Amino acid sequence: MRVVTYNVNGITARLANFLRWLGERTPDVVCLQELKAPQDKFPEGPVRDAGYGVIWHGQKSWNGVAILARNTEPAEIRRVLPGDPEDVHSRYIEAMVHGVTIGCLYLPNGNPAPGPKFDYKLRWLDRLLAHAAALAGSEQPVILAGDYNVIPTERDVYKPERWVDDALFRTEVRAAFARLLEQGWTDAIRTLHPHETIYTFWDFFRNAYGRDAGLRIDHLLLNAALASRLTAAGVDRDVRGWEKPSDHAPVWVDLRD
């Protein structure tokens, strides 16, 4: 079973590109972020015509997350990250697919830091840690996939010294991600490729993709019950070079049945 996370940066603007990728790669489960579409504007018809069941949590202009499952319906578990009734951003959705709990998340960017947006990011990380703690030790397989907006280590950014004060790389944020891993989560890409330079995002400008000036900020974390089934992981980085691409590329894991 292949599970993918993909920040599409606007599902409406990305639709042709996305459907091409979906048709060519036919992944089993897809976690989407940054739909940037209200609930009633999600392109449900084309997605279902492509052979996928789908649930989504939209929002006007910003955020928005979805879970797609090939030839089946994702069984929704929740569409809000617990812990803050005041938080109205659409940044989390969770469903069961083929016996695997799929958490799809879009973590706040947090810039500029310091400031209220960074404070919101840190609070969101705390809530994620609290929710993930229960899932980490579950005997049921769980994957937390999404755009974490966290550069885990210096190896995951083209020029670390330029990013030390950025909300994606500040020590508080890296420490929170490290605490997440200490709960028992496996960072699939890094575990299978410990020494490679791997990016999942390249800026739209300054020819970032051409220069390979990227970041690794999209992650798939597996709990222990699922990590034993991990066989492969990678980035569909060629998609970043397609016409009208997102600034992120799809990131995937293959799991033994």
Partner DNA sequence: ATGCCGTGGAAACCACGA
148 annotated active-site: no
| Region 9-68 residues binding DNA, contact defined as CB under 7 A | 9-14, 34, 36-38, 60-62
Per 3-state DSSP, what percentage of the chain is helix, strand, and coil (rounded to 5)?
A: 30, 25, 40
Tokens 């190896």 belong to which residue? Answer: 155
Give the nearest distance from C-beta 215 to DNA in angstroms: 5
Nearest CB to DNA, comparing residues 23 and 160? 160
Give the nearest distance from C-beta 200 to DNA in angstroms: 9
Give the nearest distance from C-beta 102 to DNA in angstroms: 20
Choosing from 204, 231, 232, 256, the residue that interacts with DNA (CB under 7 A) is 204
In whole angstroms, give the CA distance from residue 42 to residue 83: 27
Q: Give the contacts of 139 (CB within 8 A, at least 6 positions apart).
A: 225
Task: For Cα atoms 102, 2, 138, give the angle at the middle one, nearest 5 degrees.
Answer: 35
The pair of structure tokens assigned to 199 is 């990016």
Nearest CB to DNA, comparing residues 48 and 60? 60
Binding track over 62-101 against DNA, x by CB under 7 A: x---------------------------------------
* Residue 120 CB-density burial (10 A; 0-12 exposed, 13-18 middle, 19+ buried): middle
| Region 103-142 residues binding DNA, contact defined as CB under 7 A | 108-109, 111-112, 117
Q: Cα(first)–Cα(last) distance of the chain, in Å? A: 7
> Following CA atoms 2, 203, 186, 103 in sequence, which dihedral angle do they give, to the nearest 10 degrees?
-60
Choosing from 78, 211, 244, 256, the residue that interacts with DNA (CB under 7 A) is 244
Which residues of this chain interact with DNA, rule CB under 7 A? 7, 9-14, 34, 36-38, 60-62, 108-109, 111-112, 117, 147, 149, 161-162, 166-168, 201, 203-206, 215, 217, 244, 247-248
